[in-house]
Structure 1
Amino acid sequence: MPQEHSVPDVLPVDGAFARPAPEADLQSAAEALRSNGFTVSLADTPADARALVAGLLPTDRSVLTATSETLRESGIAEDVDASGRFRSVRAAQADWDLAARADEVRVTRSAPDVVVGSVHAVTLDGTLVVASASGSQLAPYASGAARAVFVVGAQKVVADLPTALRRIETYSYPKEDLRAQSAYGARSVVAKVLVYGREVFPGRATVVLVRQAVGF
């Protein structure tokens, strides 16, 4: 008999949040981020961001890639985790029984030397906003990692914090929910939100703003 396949539940998506912000907004966000203690670079394309990030990452320190469509689509996740050039946390744990070693996974992924990931929104006043179901990437983002690198598509630049939260609920979350159903057979949820408004340690956090849309 043919196997039955469940049809994913599809939440409505606000397509307005898929449009890249204009250059003037990118420049405003970049300047505000710098004022808030972040190091900022702009890249024209995801390929340019990929090359830039490869040059930023150390080859002699542990690097964790957060689960991110931005990193997957741009090829950054593949560079870090599969090239052999970097000391990838995920590559080192590829043959682990993650459930059996859950405490080790939690500790090592909470405090790598470097975390590379993305966020769901950047406001014009220079605040990064990211949502999570488990919160696993929020610890290294906020303080666990000695350095953090965020790669952010232009469609994620928004006016303010309320708009950032609305973008999460009506765009990023529905897309992640669909991805989670396909990848894990489970629904996602917006359980924890990090509002990262300032970096007090100079040089710790770098934001690479991409002039094209990448990720969600």
Structure 2
Amino acid sequence: MTVQAPAIDEAFADPAGEDRLGRAAAALRDHGYAVHLVDTAAEARKLVADLVPRDREVFTASSETLRLSGIAEDIDESGEYQSVRARSGDLGDDVQARIRLGATPEVVVGSVHAVTEDGRMLVASASGSQIAPYASGARQAVWVVGAQKVVPDEEAGLRRIRAYSLPREWRRLHDLYGQTSFIGKILILEREAMPERGTVVLVREAIGF
């Protein structure tokens, strides 16, 4: 039986303009996040290198943004950081072990699937591996977010997850491994209670899903 790939709404691939980025950045700051606006993924990579400490354990959440920008490679393969992934070794097919591995790191670096203009961030996951450290498990969180992920509101953010992020990830996994993806859990980050815990790096160009 042929499995039909879900349709992609390419409207969600277009980077937001400066006005929308500015509104999202201001709202995120009002909600307790530190926000940096950079022009390119290369600039985001340099900034994250400065933001992430070398003397604390760091977990990189699964993210095409981190992979494509080179941030995941920097943290997990350079030897400069205390990478949780690099120190964990091969966990084989133990999915629960992989999830627990990243649940409570000192620092988590990742991305989200949507940022609303009123300052909410939405992230979807099949296994839920990003949910714990993003929500509260990590002492410090850094999210790198391409401009195409900025949406007007929460409803549009949920549509983006289902009509763009999921279909793109579905195809990526199918092409690489012959498997597909699904949405298991969705987290909405509305406000940060801990001062200086969360940092959002908004990139003016599109990167990631």
Q: TM-score, normalised by structure 1?
A: 0.92
Return 5+ residue gaps in structure 1 as ranges. Answer: 1-5
Q: Aligned partner of 2:90: which letter? A: W
Return 5+ residue gaps in structure 2 as ranges. Answer: none
| 1:49–1:151 CA contact under 8 A, matched in 2 | yes
1:28 to 5, 20, 23: 23
Assess, with a 3 A threshold, how the Cα gap between structure 1 residues 167 and 61 changes in structure 2: closer, same or farther.
same
Secondary structure in structure 2 of the residue aligned to 1:111: coil
2:90 to 93, 96, 116: 96
What is the Cα-based RMSD across aligned positions, in Å?
Answer: 1.6
Aligned counterparts of 2:137 and 2:38: Cα–Cα separation in 1: 26
Please name the residue that 2:38 is paired with.
43
Any idea what the Cα deviations from partners look like across 1:99-151, whole Å, max 9, x if unmatched?
Answer: 46x66543331000000000000000000000011111110000001110000
* Higher Rg of the two aligned structures: 1
2:61 is equivalent to residue 77 of structure 1:
no
- 1:2-151 counterparts in 2 under 5 A? 9-93=4-88, 95-99=89-93, 104-151=97-144
Aligned counterparts of 1:188 and 1:147: Cα–Cα separation in 2: 28
Aligned counterparts of 1:106 and 1:73: Cα–Cα separation in 2: 22
2:155 is equivalent to residue 158 of structure 1:
no
Q: TM-score, normalised by structure 2?
A: 0.95
Please name the residue that 1:170 is paired with.
163
Assess, with a 3 A threshold, how the Cα gap between structure 1 residues 174 and 200 changes in structure 2: closer, same or farther.
same
What's the % identity of the aligned pairs? 55
| 1:98–1:105 CA contact under 8 A, matched in 2 | no
Aligned counterparts of 2:5 and 2:99: Cα–Cα separation in 1: 31
Q: How many residues end up aligned between the 2 structures?
A: 209
Assess, with a 3 A threshold, how the Cα gap between structure 1 residues 9 and 87 changes in structure 2: closer, same or farther.
farther
Secondary structure in structure 2 of the residue aligned to 1:195: strand
